[in-house]
Amino acid sequence: MRSVPGAGPGASSGAEASTINRVRRVLAIKPFRRLWGVTYLCSVADWLNILALTGLATKLTDNYFAQNFAFVGVVLTGLAPGLLFAPVGGLLADRFDRRKVMVVADLLRCGFLLSIAIVSAPWWLLAGNFLVGCASSMWIPSKEAAVPNLLRRPDQVETANQLGMVMTYGLAVITAAGANAAITGVNTTFHLFPGDPSLNIAKLVVIITGLLYLASAILIATRIPELSLRNVHALPEQKVKQADEEKFGVGQMIADGFRFIRSTPLVRGLLVGAFGAFAAGGAVIGSAKPYSSSLLAGDSAFNLLVLAVFLGLATGMAFAPKLARRLAHDRLFGISIIAAALSLLVVALSPHLAVALIAVCSVGIWAGTAFLTGVTIIGSRVEDAIRGRINAIYQLMMKLVLFGTTVTVPVLVGLVQRHTITVWGSPLTIDGTRPVMLGGAAIALVAGLFAYRQMDDKRTEPILSDLRNALRRTPRRVNGFLIAVEGTTAINTAIQAVNLADWMRGGTRPVVVAADPALDDQRLTALVSGASLTGARAQALAAAAVRADIVERHVQPALDAGSVVVMERFVDSPLAHLSAVAGLDSDELEGLADWATGRLRPDLTVLLDAAPNGAPRDKSAAMNDQWRVQHLLTEMAAADPDRYVVIDADGTDAEVAERIRTALRAVFVGRLAALAPTTEKPVTLPLDIDEPLPVETPEEPRVEAK
């Protein structure tokens, strides 16, 4: 049995279990799961398109010079439409049915690719690829804007974006490369094409790529009608009218988009911060090769630096949701850009390859975190009526800045003469890469600070303190400290909450005790009976209303005043009871609890693990409701071990209270030492546990200095 968070056999898998749980909940949504599969098809086709057209371009010309530019020509003609027509794609996504836009775009991509294979002319290959890119500029904003409407809750956008990026930049790349290698190598074994097989195989790959887009169009048209939904998760304040209610006008819609950006600090900070992040990324990409040479580490240094960047990007995208649970997205975005800028500063000043690899990996981690956070903010905080345009502008800015800096950085690097200096006895080559990286770091730092100031409307701490708090194993609360006592029976939790509060009063902070508002019979009974509520869902809503009232009137003010609040059966026990006994949907209950409490969660949860009502632990009791409640509670603790202390609650009340105190003494070591009682108080058990516990409010709460 675990007594301290993070210890014991379940600790190592807690974060993994939480991630798996979030992914399962998102993939359980059928429309999103189908769109995820379609995203896989289209991503494979996108990567295969680059490989296929590059191979075909080299077969359609005998000019050695032209063959050397085949890959560059395919990439540039594919990216150019995104630079020129991305805003138009955003306008289409906001004005028309997004499902129809995606179907038309896929059909166009299929038709253009088939025409390339039929015409087999170098000029049409580049022109057709340009048109395929134009169709992709229609498809991407519609898809990104439609994803939030497929989800059950806005907070699932981050996980959905995470899954999309894993599919687009992970599985799809591997599949496309493997498929291209298998198709191009099949003739070596089976000799399917006589004569000049390389040209025919290249055409076959292009045709297969077009058919993948055709399959995507069919699936979207027949299997995902939910893509046509609009404004499913409406924001409290809508600043932009729905596009379908307006007379279509490109100029008017563009003006509305820029007006929205100017009047919304969140989006304004997002775009400015993204500009700084992309500029820093372009500086790294454009100067990567000469920078690796300046480290005097050989040609392999460039490959190692590229590997470090992509490993960092993958790590940042994987761990961004964990940071977002401790830090609001609007803060995390700006802080990520600032951290990336500081890491780039280390890269610019690095005298050795080992230091450069660590710093470059850090740049990738924070860049991946910032990119995922930015996409999540657009999906969850931007109105549906303008989401397509903001997505398009975000993607356009990324391509423009990366393209511009990648082109101009080599020119700037070439203007600076190379110099060799000695640092700690080792030669260090100073060339234009380091000043360029320093400039990129400065731009990113200023943009990150601006984004943080613009996007954060509830600043209470400096940036460094906020980041340090998020990176801690168990983040601290700014003011008070909330401890929840959870368990299967109200009797056990009531007794131990009083005992714990009595012991905590030996510390330096005032202590407030609060009971589960659903146990406040006077208020809950009056509310349920007065409204004639008999159904489980209606009573759950009534209990949530009472819980919201006690949190707003007593718990939150006490926390703001710096008190320690001991809350009996705060959220977990009611959720487990309603889910296991009443059979209500756990996702809906969790959303209801988040709304009722304002997403307030305990800093520490004490879970009393005992056989319900003293029932023996055998198969005959497996279907007992209380056993199912206890099972759900232990699953919650396993999913988030950093926030739970699991206590063996078998035995007398005094023995259990002593176990709780022993466990909390270990938790309060170090930075939480100020919360630990300085004197030991005897355990005093309540005489009448049938009466609801009063909510205590200190007469003069003291705010402790940090």
Same domain, 558 and 420: no
End-to-end CA distance of the chain: 33
Model confidence over 255-282: pLDDT tens digits? 766 777 777 888 888 888 888 887 877 7
Same domain, 463 and 492: no
Q: Is 670 left (phi over 0), alpha (psi -120 to 50) or beta?
A: left
Structural domain contains residue 459: yes
For residue 5, the SS3 value is coil
Same domain, 460 and 488: no
Same domain, 54 and 200: yes
Q: Which residues contact 683 (CB under 8 A, 6 or more apart)?
A: 499, 502, 503, 653, 654, 657, 658
Structural domain contains residue 587: yes
Lowest model confidence (mean pLDDT) among 18-22, 522-526, 609-613? 522-526
pLDDT of residue 691: 41
Q: How many domains, in total, are found in the chain?
A: 3
What does the DSSP 8-state code read for residue 681?
-
Structural domain contains residue 244: no
- CA 34 to CA 27: how far, in whole Å? 9
pLDDT greater at residue 577 or residue 282:
282
What does the DSSP 8-state code read for residue 97?
-
Which domain CATH number covers 367?
A: 1.20.1250.20
pLDDT of residue 353: 83
Same domain, 307 and 407: yes
Give the residue from 228, 244, 272 where a domain finishes.
228
Tell me the backbone φ, ψ of residue 581, rounded to 5 degrees: -90, -50
- Structure-block tokens of residue 422: 């000695």
The string of DSSP letters for 302-357 reads HHHHHHHHHHHHHHHHHHHHHHHTTS-HHHHHHHHHHHHHHHHHHHHH--SHHHHH
Structural domain contains residue 95: yes
Same domain, 91 and 196: yes
Same domain, 464 and 560: no
Same domain, 480 and 599: yes
- CA 359 to CA 343: how far, in whole Å? 6
Q: Are 452 and 576 contacting, i.e. CB atoms less than 8 angstroms apart?
A: no
The structure tokens 């060799």 sit at: 420
- CA 261 to CA 548: how far, in whole Å? 34
pLDDT greater at residue 532 or residue 21:
21
> pTM to 2 decimals?
0.60
Same domain, 510 and 385: no
Same domain, 344 and 445: yes
- Structure-block tokens of residue 272: 């400015």
> pLDDT band at residue 128, thresholds of 50, 70 and 90?
very high
Distance of CA 486 to the CA centre of its chain: 29
The string of DSSP letters for 153-191 reads SGGGHHHHHHHHHHIIIIIHHHHHHHHHHHHHHHHHHH-
- Provide the b/e sequence for 195-215 (b: ≥16 CB within 10 Å): eebebebbbbbbbbbbebbbb
- Structure-block tokens of residue 517: 């508002």
> pLDDT band at residue 112, thresholds of 50, 70 and 90?
very high
Secondary structure string (H, E, C) spanning 368-432: HHHHHHHHHHHHHHCCHHHHHHHHHHHHHHHHHHHHHHHHHHHHHHHHCCCEEEEECCEEEEECC
pLDDT above 70 for 528: no
Q: Domain of 386?
A: 259-471
Model confidence over 653-696: pLDDT tens digits? 888 888 888 888 888 775 566 677 765 554 444 433 344 444 44
pLDDT of residue 223: 92
> pLDDT band at residue 21, thresholds of 50, 70 and 90?
confident
Question: Whole-number mean pLDDT of the chain?
Answer: 75
Same domain, 49 and 162: yes
DSSP-derived pairing of the beta strands 481-486 and 511-514: unpaired
| CA nearest to 523, candidates 505, 542, 509, 538 | 542
Structural domain contains residue 592: yes
CA atoms within 13 A on the CB side of 332: 30
481-486, strands of its sheet edge to edge: 511-514, 564-568, 481-486, 604-609, 644-648
Q: Are 162 and 323 contacting, i.e. CB atoms less than 8 angstroms apart?
A: no
| CB under 8 A, 24+ apart: contacts of 178-187 | 179/44, 179/48, 179/208, 180/48, 180/51, 180/52, 180/55, 180/205, 183/208, 184/55
CA atoms within 13 A on the CB side of 294: 26
Angle at 39 between CA 34 and CA 41, to 5 degrees: 100
Same domain, 490 and 506: yes
Amino acid found at 261: I
Q: Are 110 and 214 contacting, i.e. CB atoms less than 8 angstroms apart?
A: yes
Output the CA–CA distances (angstroms, integers) from residue 29 to 103, 156, 251, 636, in the order listed.
21, 11, 37, 21
Structural domain contains residue 13: no
Q: Are 653 and 472 contacting, i.e. CB atoms less than 8 angstroms apart?
A: no
Which domain CATH number covers 654?
A: 3.40.50.300
DSSP-derived pairing of the beta strands 419-423 and 426-430: antiparallel
Length of the chain: 706
Q: Which residues contact 101 (CB under 8 A, 6 or more apart)?
A: 92, 93, 138, 139, 142
Model confidence over 410-469: pLDDT tens digits? 777 777 666 666 766 666 666 778 888 888 899 999 998 888 888 875 554 555 665 666
| CA nearest to 37, candidates 263, 245, 215, 209 | 215
Model confidence over 177-190: pLDDT tens digits? 888 888 877 766 66
- CA 662 to CA 345: how far, in whole Å? 46
For residue 605, the cross-strand partners are: 484, 644
Give the residue from 189, 210, 228 where a domain finishes.
228
Q: Are 320 and 373 contacting, i.e. CB atoms less than 8 angstroms apart?
A: yes
pLDDT of residue 690: 40
The structure tokens 């700014």 sit at: 478
Structural domain contains residue 247: no
Structural domain contains residue 431: yes
